[in-house]
A and B are shown apart, each in its own frame.
Chain A
Amino acid sequence: MRTISDWGNYPVIEADVAGFDSVGQLRKQLEDPGELIAFGNGRSYGDASLQKRMVLTRRFSKFLSFDESSGTLCCDSGVLLSEILDVFVPRGWFLPVTPGTKLITVGGAIAADVHGKNHHVDGSFGQHILSMDIMRNDGSIITCSPTVNAEFFKVTVGGMGLTGVILNASFRLKRIETAFIREETVRAANLGEIMDCFEVSVGWTYSVAWIDCLAKGDSMGRSIMMRGEHAQTHELVSPTHKHAPLKVNKGMQLAVPFRFPNFALNPLSMKAFNFAYYNKCRPGTHQHLVDYNSFFYPLDAISNWNRIYGKRGFTQYQFVIPKEAGREGMARILKRITDSGLGSFLAVLKLFGEQDSFMSFPMEGYTLALDFPISQKAMELFKELDAMVADYGGRLYLAKDSRMDAAMFEKTYANADEFRQAVTLLNEGETRFASLQSKRIGITN
């Protein structure tokens, strides 16, 4: 038994955990009856990978094959995206889709069907999976792809680990000439401006905005958009970069060595941070050449940044609302958040493209993600926000969630019922996949 939690440090539970080196060892674990769930690198925020009994996949992390001509990589589910980048960026390849942290496993990326700054162009991670192997609750292995065992594939992508333990996956990496991003930052004075900015930026491969969730009145929604393209060799300026276009310096790794006391983050300190961050960027549009780590993974440079929220932990409230409802809806929801004064400094806005998958979070529209230290007040605010999000036809991201109720899930995920039936059918037998989250939102009993 050991104490374990996901990235938000809420909830924290006692669990029996065991990893595996081989398919045989995992099969043996599944012979023990009862409920269990796979746990990767613990970077989902809430309780999606928590359970009294957990299978750790991190040790199951071999690279199986790579085809240099097509860029097709096959690797075990416990491999971290950061390992893929370390190995393949120097050889001129990049991930087809990456979220804002590279410290997640391939299995987790599929189970949560993660998205990135290029969602409007390239869709979610699951859409790039060519094929994968999954171990079912009875120890059998099923190979599935968009065409082979397609139904099983459909419920497994974004299926939150409830259909089995993902063993390995094949997907295509994309060619890059350099390890650098040509980044353009645009300062927007309010919500209207930043939404205009997203709409004219759909031609960019990558786009995302940091949004100040504490600014009120006329400056509500003031933001900084970051949009980017992989830089080509001829765009590099510095001789060092030109000489080794695929090489990036390690950069400084900072760490938060212990949990901050709860009072360290307070309205004043957060307001000061947001003010400084916003004003550091001058008005207008600016171009920079930055390495891929600072563009995609700024927070990965600070180990254990989750500790700044202290012992109480935090949650990330991430919702999406359809594009039609976007302007009015986002303004109303954001106003409720700024009025509460509870939001913190990490808030991210993005315009998703279309998405047609079974259980995945993205839909064409605006998504906003913001961190909240856990408190009674915040929990009450979430309830109000839930109602608004549901009214606009939106939904919450399961990978971030630790508190949504079953009714909210039912109302907002169109395929909730069908998914529950599929999971029930697949879990017939003595051993069943279930997480604290799947029980809370009513997918499993």
Chain B
Amino acid sequence: MKNVLILGATSDMAQAIAKKYAAEGWSLTLAAIEPELLASIASDLRVRGDVTVDTKTFDATDFENHRAFYESLETRPDAVIAVFGYMSDQEKVRTDIADIRRTIDINFTGMATMLSVIADDFEKRGRGAIAAISSVAGDRGRQSNYIYGSAKAGLTAFLSGLRNRLAKKGVHVMTVKPGFARTKMTENMELPEALTASPEQIADAVFKGLEKKRNVVYTLWMWRYIMLIIRHIPEFIFKKMGM
């Protein structure tokens, strides 16, 4: 039985991904910082179906222990999906040093350290698949969330480099850019319905994307073109826009 490790397993997106993999017959290792919520998620999955679920406490910002965390896993995963992330109110981030660091630590540094450890192991084994949730916010810095966006831009670049390195080693790396998603982060926000993906849609896109070895996945196809346009607006015009 194949095993998937989900990092940041308590988010809505991660829960939908876990359900998808469980339904496809994989065994699961769920890792997140909130052990109680993690336990209730695992017990839910066990009632839903005949599935093997392990849980592990995981702190994305405890960089030094990422190797120890990985080595403590009972099952070496066949696939890793890194879902953890952190987005706060940009107004708050703009002036709050601790929050800026937190945004970068979780969205970029934590991803880079954890995935580097995993990449080494997968490279040695000569197989495995890694998917990480980045963001369209990383495609171009915009005034409304450039701190989060720049951390995600770093992650996107990291993943593309990792993909470049591991492609010849039988290891696949996939970048996921969900666009708007209806999750707890956005539940009280007005979102354009047609551009908003549900956690289940994202889970399907992640599963299918990895099966088909896609490189960069925008969960709703429109986003690829929206971001293509946004990336190509000349800087002298872009800087005057209120995005």
Tell me the A residues contacting B by CB distance below 8 Å: 1-3, 16-19, 21-22, 56, 59, 62-66, 75, 87, 257
A16 to B44, CA, bound (A): 29
A62 to B37, CA, bound (A): 11
Q: Is B164 an interface residue (CB 8 A)?
A: no
Q: Using an 8 Å CB-CB cutoff, how does the interface string of B24-48 with A read, 1 for contact, 0 for none?
A: 0000000000001100110110011
Q: Given that A21-B37, A62-B43 are contacting pairs, would A87 and B49 also be in contact in the complex, using a CB cutoff of 8 Å?
A: yes
Question: B44 contacts A63, CB within 8 Å?
Answer: yes
Most B CB within 10 A of own CB, among A16, A21, A56, A59: A21
A19, A22, A63, A64: the one contacting B37 at CB < 8 Å is: A22
B37, B188, B194: the one contacting A16 at CB < 8 Å is: B188
Nearest CB in chain A: distance from B65 CB, A: 26
Question: A2 contacts B189, CB within 8 Å?
Answer: yes
Residues on A with beta carbons closer than 8 Å to the beta carbon of B44: 62-64
Q: Given that A1-B190, A2-B190, A17-B188 are contacting pairs, would A59 and B12 also be in contact in the complex, using a CB cutoff of 8 Å?
A: yes
A66 to B12, CA, bound (A): 23
Q: Given that A59-B12, A62-B40, A62-B41 are contacting pairs, would A18 and B188 also be in contact in the complex, using a CB cutoff of 8 Å?
A: yes
Nearest CB in chain B: distance from A93 CB, A: 13
**Across the A-B interface, how many residue pairs have beta carbons closer than 8 Å?**
39
Nearest CB in chain A: distance from B201 CB, A: 12
Nearest CB in chain A: distance from B189 CB, A: 6
Question: A21 contacts B188, CB within 8 Å?
Answer: no
Residues on B with beta carbons closer than 8 Å to the beta carbon of A66: 47
Tell me the B residues contacting A by CB distance below 8 Å: 10, 12, 36-37, 40-41, 43-44, 47-49, 184, 187-191, 194
Residues on A with beta carbons closer than 8 Å to the beta carbon of B36: 22
A59 to B14, CA, bound (A): 13
Residues on B with beta carbons closer than 8 Å to the beta carbon of A75: 47
Closest to A56 in B: B187
Question: A19 contacts B187, CB within 8 Å?
Answer: yes
Residues on A with beta carbons closer than 8 Å to the beta carbon of B194: 257
Residues on B with beta carbons closer than 8 Å to the beta carbon of A16: 188
Question: A17 contacts B48, CB within 8 Å?
Answer: no
Question: B48 contacts A87, CB within 8 Å?
Answer: yes
Residues on B with beta carbons closer than 8 Å to the beta carbon of A3: 190
Residues on B with beta carbons closer than 8 Å to the beta carbon of A87: 48-49
Question: A63 contacts B189, CB within 8 Å?
Answer: no
Residues on B with beta carbons closer than 8 Å to the beta carbon of A19: 184, 187
Question: A17 contacts B187, CB within 8 Å?
Answer: yes
A66 to B50, CA, bound (A): 12
Nearest CB in chain A: distance from B133 CB, A: 18
Question: B184 contacts A1, CB within 8 Å?
Answer: no
A18 to B188, CA, bound (A): 6
Closest to A66 in B: B47
Nearest CB in chain A: distance from B181 CB, A: 13
Question: A18 contacts B47, CB within 8 Å?
Answer: no
Question: A65 contacts B37, CB within 8 Å?
Answer: no
> Could you pull out 30 A-B pairs where Cβ atoms are within 8 angstroms?
A1-B188, A1-B190, A2-B188, A2-B189, A2-B190, A2-B191, A3-B190, A16-B188, A17-B188, A18-B187, A18-B188, A21-B10, A21-B37, A21-B184, A22-B36, A22-B37, A56-B187, A59-B12, A59-B184, A59-B187, A62-B43, A63-B44, A63-B47, A63-B48, A64-B44, A64-B47, A65-B47, A75-B47, A87-B48, A87-B49
A75 to B45, CA, bound (A): 12
